[in-house]
Structure 1
Amino acid sequence: MKPFTFRQFEIRQSKGVFRVGTDGVLLGASASVSHASKVLEVGTGTGLISLMLAQRNPQAEFLGIDINEEAAELTRVNFKNSPFASRLNNMHQDFKSFNTSEEFDMIVSNPPYFEVSDSEKDKIARQTVELNFLQLISKSAGLLSEKGILSVIIPVEAGEGFVHTAEIHGFILIRKINIKGIKTANIKRLILEFSFSEQSFSESEFIIEKSPRQYSDPYLKLTKEFHVFKK
């Protein structure tokens, strides 16, 4: 499968691992990583999100984990071949049984989101067969530092339940980005960020395309340091 080329790194892809997609790009370009020194990505896939965050924060160190052995190996290769290799590590690991004495300043994830599907394609990556939202939230609560941030991108339909579950585990919603495919469409994705400490809440709207297959100016601006756009 053809690699996906970004400005500062390249993503090798595989048919057995969820490919580079808009959700991952949006989270990698938007997550509040600037003050983090230790970042954990849950479900790395190709390693895209950690690579984007490493480009954005030159001081941070990253650990990526994925339950899919093929994904973990692909991440290892993509991390190793990047200019940020010295700050990137990854493991073939089930997040539910992941144990460490370290605390993280950020946990970031583009988690599985289809509760039920007849499709076998990307089954682990796209369905909550190995990790549901409750497990992601509860485990993250025990691994984040006091001022740490949990940052996720999920379907809008799952937003209310995700926020409610996060609040039960002591999290406070501090940031919400409502994502639309085009301006006239309904919201389809949410980027949600949580902290244990009270902060000023921000909410914004983000539109990916100004017309079919034509990226919006905000999308071009957000991703200009990553995407290699054709003239």
Structure 2
Amino acid sequence: MKPFVFKHFTIAQHPEVFRVGTDGVLLGALADAGNAKRILEVGAGTGLVSLMLAQRNRNADVFAVEISPAAAELAGHNFRNSPFYARMKVFQEDFKNFSSPDLFDLIVSNPPYFEENTSVKHVLARQKRELDFTALIRKSSELITPQGALSVIIPADQSADFIAISEENGFHLIHKINILGIADGVVKRQILRFSKKKSVPAEVDFIIEKSPGKFTDHYLELTKDFHVFGGK
């Protein structure tokens, strides 16, 4: 597969690994990582989100957990070929069994959200066979600092369930970003940020395109340090 070239790193891709997509770019660009010293991505895939966060926060060590051997190998390759490699590491492991002597300030994930079905394409990345919302939230609660945050991007029609499970496990919604593919469209995705500390949640909209094929100024500004075309 053709590599995806960003301004400061290149993502090699593989047919067995879910390719670079808009969801990952949005999570990597919009997750609040400014004060984090230790960041963990759950489900690394190509390593895109981890690399974006490493670029945005030059003071953070960035780790990733990936259950698929093919994806973990690919993410490791992409890490090694980036200028941020000294601060990055990938673990090929089931997140449910993952442990760390040190906690994380930020955990991010673009988790599987389809129920189990007969599809054989990108099963681990897309279907809740090995990691459902409850497992992701419970394990994250064990690995995060008291002041830390969990950030995910999920379909908008599943956010109510995710929020409810989070509350049951001591995570409180503090920020919601409604992602609209186009102006006057419907909300298809949401980026949710949770903390162990309660606060009044903030909510904003983010529009990707102002018309078909025409990115909004907001999207271009957000991705200008990543996409080669970002400043155009």
TM-score (norm 2): 0.97
The CA distance in 2 between the partners of 1:200 and 1:113, in whole Å, is 27
The answer to whether the aligner puts 1:77 opposite 2:104 as a matched pair is no
Q: Which residue of 2 aligns with 1:150?
A: 150
Q: Which residue of 2 aligns with 1:209?
A: 209
Identity %: 54
The CA distance in 1 between the partners of 2:47 and 2:96, in whole Å, is 19
Structure 1: where are the runs of 5+ without partners? none
Q: Which residue of 2 aligns with 1:24?
A: 24
Q: Which residue of 2 aligns with 1:121?
A: 121
SS in 2 for 1:142: helix
Following TM superposition, the consecutive aligned residue runs of length 4 or more in structure 1 with deviations greater than 2 angstroms are 116-119, 198-201
The CA distance in 2 between the partners of 1:205 and 1:60, in whole Å, is 28
The CA distance in 2 between the partners of 1:148 and 1:47, in whole Å, is 21
Supply the RMSD in Å over aligned alpha carbons.
1.1
Letter in 2 for 1:147: Q
SS in 1 for 2:167: helix
SS in 1 for 2:179: strand
Letter in 1 for 2:31: A
The answer to whether the aligner puts 1:136 opposite 2:136 as a matched pair is yes
Within-5 A mapping of 1:47-196: 47-196=47-196
Q: Which residue of 2 aligns with 1:218?
A: 218
Letter in 2 for 1:63: F
Deviation at 1:185, TM superposition (A): 1.6
SS in 1 for 2:106: strand
* Structure 1, 156-165 or 93-102: larger mean CA deviation: 93-102
Q: Deviations over 1:164-202 (max 9, x none)?
A: 000011111111000111122210000000001134521
Q: Deviations over 1:60-100 (max 9, x none)?
A: 00111100000000000000000000000011010011122
Residues 116 and 183 from structure 1, CA distance in 2 versus in 1: closer, same or farther, beyond 3 angstroms? farther
Letter in 2 for 1:57: N
Deviation at 1:119, TM superposition (A): 2.4
Deviation at 1:122, TM superposition (A): 1.2
SS in 2 for 1:101: coil
Number of residue-to-residue matches in the alignment: 231
SS in 1 for 2:154: strand
Letter in 1 for 2:106: M
The CA distance in 2 between the partners of 1:202 and 1:84, in whole Å, is 32
TM-score (norm 1): 0.97
